[in-house]
């Protein structure tokens, strides 16, 4: 275990999380995000086992889950991203020491069909808090979901159209707008990497500026990048190579640009793009109370 690098916002350790987590103080972390290997036999580099017998994998997950429960501050929030296959067990393990809040379905567009099964179309993001309720809960309001071709509503809001909050609709527990990180320009290393948009939202929901965020599976550093850009302190570890994380945090320009783009879409019932499409395709937006009505 060694300290890989530090910035003014946080410190990364190159370490096995089961060795590093015991060094973190109890009840000290405001928000935890964990995206472990899914035990799908992926190559994360030398010495990282992603193909364990089922019970061995779950035993390993329960071990670091117990550490995450210990280090989480009262009122703190834990988000755990995994396949439904594993999170069904981990949710049962965490329910008791922590309080269950949500099973958030993250829609995935490009999965492969599995013979004899339903087509897998979501990953599970578990959301728990320590104690009866979270200290921070600020789910960001969202624009209406619209067709990317014509701007038409995907849901019918019926008679509620003239009574909607002009700042957007309530965030639901099904997230269809999280893009995969595929384009090489947005990708910080070869292996799995989550969208910054997912971390941006998670940090909005469960933390405030100055709070401390922990991620025990650093990967390409998406959690740390989001935390730093959003004024949160961070700490974490990664067993594999940490060079990509260090470079990413030293050069935050591309991440900052992406965050700005997504933030510009928030704050109203329709994004600019949806509005343009709606006008072009003759969808009547006037029945909604729009931000422009307020200003
Ligand atoms: C799914 S990736 C995380 C990706 C990350 N959320 C991101 O967006 O960049 C899981 C990471 O956990 C790391 N890892 C695997 N076993 C570990 C362990 N025992 N301790 C710490 N990190 C580990 C892997 O090297 C891999 O980078």
pLDDT in tens, 228-271: 999 999 999 999 999 999 999 999 999 999 999 999 999 989 98
Is the pLDDT confidence value at 188 over 50? yes
Q: What percent of the chain has pLDDT over 70?
A: 94
pTM: 0.93
Percent over 90 (pLDDT), the chain? 70
Q: What mean pLDDT is predicted for residues 88-94?
A: 98
Answer whether 177's CB lies under 8 Å from 106's CB.
no
* Residues 47-90 pLDDT 10s: 777 788 889 999 999 999 999 999 999 999 999 999 999 999 99
Q: How far is the CA of 221 from the centre of ligand 1 (A)?
A: 9
Give the C-alpha separation, 38 to 227, whole Å.
23
Domain 2-140+177-264 has CATH 3.40.1160.10: no
**Domain parsing of the chain, residue ranges:** 2-140+177-264, 143-171+265-295
| Mean pLDDT value across the chain | 91
pLDDT tier, 189 (very low <50, low <70, confident <90, very high otherwise)? low
d(CA 276, CA 285): 11
Q: In 3D, which of 264, 266, 202, 265 has the Cα closest to residue 234?
A: 202
237 close to 250: Cβ distance less than 8 angstroms: no
- Which residues' Cβ are closer than 6 Å to ligand 1? 16-17, 35-37, 44, 48, 191-194, 216-217, 219-222, 237-240
pLDDT band at 41 (very low <50, low <70, confident <90, very high): confident
Ligand 1 atom index nearest CA of 221? 9
Residue ranges of alpha helices (H) inside the chain are 17-20, 54-71, 84-94, 196-206, 222-229, 243-250, 253-264, 272-281, 291-294
Q: Which residues pair with 125 in a beta bridge?
A: 81, 104
């Amino acid at each position: 275990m060694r300290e890989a690098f530090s910035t003014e916002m946080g410190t990364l350790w190159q370490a096995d999380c089961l060795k590093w987590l015991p060094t973190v103080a109890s009840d000290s972390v405001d928000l935890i995000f964990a995206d472990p290997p899914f035990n799908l036999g992926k190559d994360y580099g030398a010495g990282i086992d992603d193909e364990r017998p089922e019970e061995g994998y779950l035993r390993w997950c329960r071990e670091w889950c117990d550490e995450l429960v210990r280090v989480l501050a009262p009122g703190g929030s834990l988000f755990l991203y995994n396949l439904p296959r594993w999170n069904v067990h981990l949710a049962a393990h965490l329910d008791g020491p922590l309080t269950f809040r949500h099973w958030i379905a993250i829609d995935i567009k490009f999965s492969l069909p599995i013979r004899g099964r339903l087509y897998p179309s979501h990953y599970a993001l578990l959301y728990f808090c320590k104690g009866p309720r979270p200290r921070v809960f600020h789910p960001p309001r969202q624009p209406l979901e619209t067709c990317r071709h014509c701007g038409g509503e995907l849901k019918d809001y019926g008679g509620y159209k003239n009574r909607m909050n002009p700042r957007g609709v309530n965030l639901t527990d099904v997230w269809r707008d999280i893009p995969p990180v595929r384009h090489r320009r947005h990708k910080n290393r070869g292996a799995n990497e989550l969208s910054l948009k997912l971390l941006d939202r998670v940090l909005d929901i469960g933390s405030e500026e100055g709070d401390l965020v922990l991620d025990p599976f650093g990967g390409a550093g998406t959690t740390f990048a989001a935390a730093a850009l959003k004024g949160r302190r961070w700490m974490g570890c990664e067993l594999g190579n940490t060079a990509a994380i260090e470079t990413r945090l030293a050069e935050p320009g591309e991440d900052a640009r992406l965050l700005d783009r997504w933030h510009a879409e928030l704050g109203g019932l329709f994004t600019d793009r949806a509005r343009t499409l709606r006008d072009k395709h003759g969808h009547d937006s006037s029945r909604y109370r729009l931000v422009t009505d307020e200003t």
